[in-house]
Chain A
Amino acid sequence: RKEVEQDPGPFNVPEGATVAFNCTYSNSASQSFFWYRQDCRKEPKLLMSVYSSGNEDGRFTAQLNRASQYISLLIRDSKLSDSATYLCVVLSNTDKLIFGTGTRLQVFP
């Protein structure tokens, strides 16, 4: 079983839609959780951290469920510019970042 698993997608949604991605992790001792965004042929960039209480940044909401060992990312009012691959990232108990393979989102007009 992979340490971090994501549905590769693609998720094809119209502009204005709400879309959610989940990510599961296998190591219950994992410390911190993040979502990175990666545009086609570009480098990954930190989108947001995921806190136990959940956190929101504009149209983006991230949540953590430690009991079920998954994190989620919700995007409201999708924009064309949201089209990208979203990487779920987990900081292990050995202080290493473990990257998922990514979920591809395509927003169409």
Chain B
Amino acid sequence: DAEITQSPRHKITETGRQVTLACHQTWNHNNMFWYRQDLGHGLRLIHYSYGVQDTNKGEVSDGYSVSRSNTEDLPLTLESAASSQTSVYFCASSESGPTTNEKLFFGSGTQLSVL
């Protein structure tokens, strides 16, 4: 069965370290997204990609970067982790088309703690 997987499930790191969260999907979806979820906020879009070599900033992109070298993977990198980046991170994908973002398939999430 097609799926979307994130790794690691839990990560503890120190401020200033570079951290990369992995996202891999086997849906063959062109569209991939990274969100963070915090108490008091809805899911907020960090970065997204509509295909290989395409990346775009979302509403909370500062301090994060992504790269899309193939269809299956969209790794999220925190260049220099900060305590404000402690959060649950969700990767998602969707089919491309006229209603590209109607149905998102989410990974199981990564709980990141920055100490």
The residues of A with any CB-CB pair to B shorter than 8 Å are: 4, 32, 34, 41-46, 49, 87, 91, 95-102
Whether the pair A95, B101 counts as a contact (CB closer than 8 A) is: yes
B1-57 at interface with A (beta carbon < 8 Å): 35, 40-45
The answer to whether A101 and B42 have CB atoms under 8 Å apart is yes
**CB neighbours of A34 from chain B (8 A):** 102
CB-nearest residue of chain B to A91 = B101
Interface residues of B (CB under 8 A from A): 35, 40-45, 58, 90, 99-104, 106-109
Nearest-neighbour CB distance to chain B for A7, whole angstroms, equals 14
Q: Which residues of A contact B106 (CB under 8 A)?
A: 43-45
**Chain B min CB distance to A65 (Å):** 20
Contacting pair A102 B104 (CB below 8 A): no
CB of A43 within 8 A of CB of B41, answer no
A42-B108, A43-B108 known; A87 vs B99 contact (CB < 8 Å): no
B42, B44, B99: the one within 8 Å of A32 (CB): B99
Residues A46 and B90 in contact, CB atoms below 8 Å apart: no
Taking a contact as CB atoms under 8 Å apart, the answer to whether B101 and A43 are in contact is no
Looking across the interface, which residue of chain A has its beta carbon closest to that of B106? A43
A42 to chain B: which residues have CB within 8 Å? Answer: 108-109
A102 to chain B, nearest CB (A): 7
User: CB < 8 Å: which of B45, B90, B103 contacts A43?
Assistant: B90
- Per a CB cutoff under 8 Å, which of B42, B102, B108, B109 touches A102? B42
